Amino acid sequence: MVPVTQFFPRLLPQVLGCPEPFAAQAVVDAAIEFCEKSLCVQATLDAAPVTAGVSQYEFDLPTQTALARVLSAICGTRSLVPVPSTSVTTAPSLAGTPQYFYTRDVDEVLTAFLFATPDKSDPLGLTFRVALRPTRAATQLHSSLFDQWADAIVDGAAARIMATAGQPFTNEAKAVVLMQKFRGQVNAARLEALRGRVVSSMSVNMRSF
């Protein structure tokens, strides 16, 4: 994790007169959008115990992060199939081997529900692969956002600041250009997140059977 202020030497010279608290929030807001749209910050959460008769489980996320997307879930040795919560029409108390999962807010906390409800306990039975984003109040960001995507985050933050009307640093024309650059970097990051950091051939050698 790196402090939000570590982006300031790249950002503040572009937006002279911008208060640092405003600049910090712009960095966080840009990082949130970048992570939500690119899914570039991913983590496998610690395996959680599964309890017989319990269908709902909260996500144990790293500090100062929120959930952008659940990428996959494994219960025991079985990969669970994600489904919309509205598609689960059978009584949620149905017990058995979980095959599906869906998410729903419970008391303002995003919670995963297994279906069917587990009929057996497993001390290390549930693992989620997730994409993360910063919380709105974050003071630190994932190190990859600085090490790999600093220019993109700075462009997104500067665009937000310059689009603020009636300020010494307002520059709506430049804000449009920077936001276009930012969104191009989002697309590049999303492609990398999908493919991983590998070099692969685009061709497939056919084999006879």
Bridging pattern class, strands 95-96 and 117-118: parallel
What predicted TM-score, i.e. pTM, was given to this entire model?
0.88
Mean pLDDT of the chain: 91
The span from the first CA to the last CA of the chain, in angstroms, equals 51
**Torsion over CA: 124, 129, 134, 137 (sign):** negative
* Identity of the residue numbered 27: V
* Cα 10 from chain centroid (whole Å): 24
Look at residue 86 in the predicted model and tell me its pLDDT.
Answer: 76
pLDDT in tens, 127-172: 999 999 999 999 999 999 999 999 999 999 999 999 999 999 999 9
Nearest to 8 by CA among 33, 32, 26, 34: 26
